[in-house]
Amino acid sequence: MKKNNWLIYALITMVTWGVWGALSEIPAKEGFPSTLTYVVWSITMIICALIALKNIHFKLDTRKKSIMLGMTTGLLGAGGQLLLFQALLDGPAYIIFPITSLSPIVTVVLSMLFLKEKAKPLSIIGIILALVAIFCISYSNATGGAGNGFLWLIFAIIIFIAWGVQGFIMKVANNNSPDAESIFVYMAISAVLLVPVALFMTDFSLDINLGFKGPYLSFIIQILNAIGALFLVYAMRYGKAMVVSPLTNALAPVLTVILSLILYKVFPPTIQIMGIIAALIAVFILSSEPDETPVIKK
């Protein structure tokens, strides 16, 4: 991971997350709860964390600031994921997902204000197109009621903020750590710390599929999520947060939609097709954005 090519790392995240997105619903449809999928995901994070540790010869950055930033990054992401499970119990997914998917807006704004990141005028257009693509691809005309109460909406807004801040903190952590691997290790630890919460949220009175299409298939799918998260940390290290965040969040759903079309024969609506076109144009524009050498504060 010595070559400072943020775009390659971002594209790896896009591919792994895109495939993960297309397959992630299978275990739930087969009777394996999403909360237990979270537990499986935390295990895959540990595996990737061990690989990351080996990459730095097990010399983990143990400074207090690095621990704090790494754990905060992980807790914001994992905590948001658990809150999403709760929001989807009462609220409509076709409203919740478009709200949460626009979290890169928060990352872009914070990066411009506090990290003083700047982009070329053409790159600004690419960022805007990526954000438009995220909304279009996440939007759905599905019906299913307005949800029970408004707590789900509050949860969706909290997730939107949490995931946006996570991208910003991830970049700050990279600017203050001698390696990206240590950040990911602390993210994995924070994911494991929330496992008891996921178990508490699980309804064990229901029939749970413990066969291959349950925890085992879930493991195969979730390892893609963990790999994508690891390479996102690398992308954030060498690229600008205001570019990496919207780019990865726009591209992954494009691949998910394409794979869903192939696997499930579901043709995307017009608004998602528009989103795919916008995302591809954004990739073409943002791929010319130069690498950003990380500033390490020791």
Q: Inter-axis angle of helices 151-175 and 64-90, to 10 degrees?
A: 160
- As given in the structure block, the two tokens for residue 146 are 């307005």
Torsion 3-191-60-73 (CA) sign: positive
- Both tokens of 84, joined, read 């999403």
pLDDT of residue 216: 97
Q: Averaged over 80-84, what is the pLDDT?
A: 94
pLDDT digit string (tens) for 169-209? 999 999 999 999 999 999 999 999 999 999 999 999 999 99
- The domain ranges of the chain are 6-286
Q: Are the C-beta atoms of residues 27 and 218 closer than 8 Å to each other?
A: yes
d(CA 45, CA 6): 21
- Arithmetic mean of pLDDT over the chain: 90
Greater confidence (167 vs 95) lies with 167
Helices and strands, counts by H and E, the chain: 13, 0
**What's the CA gap between 78 and 35, in Å, rounded?**
12
Rounded mean pLDDT of 115-139?
Answer: 90
pLDDT-derived band at 220 (thresholds 50, 70, 90) equals very high
What are the pLDDT digits (tens) for 3-52? 558 999 999 999 999 999 999 989 999 999 999 999 999 999 999 999 99
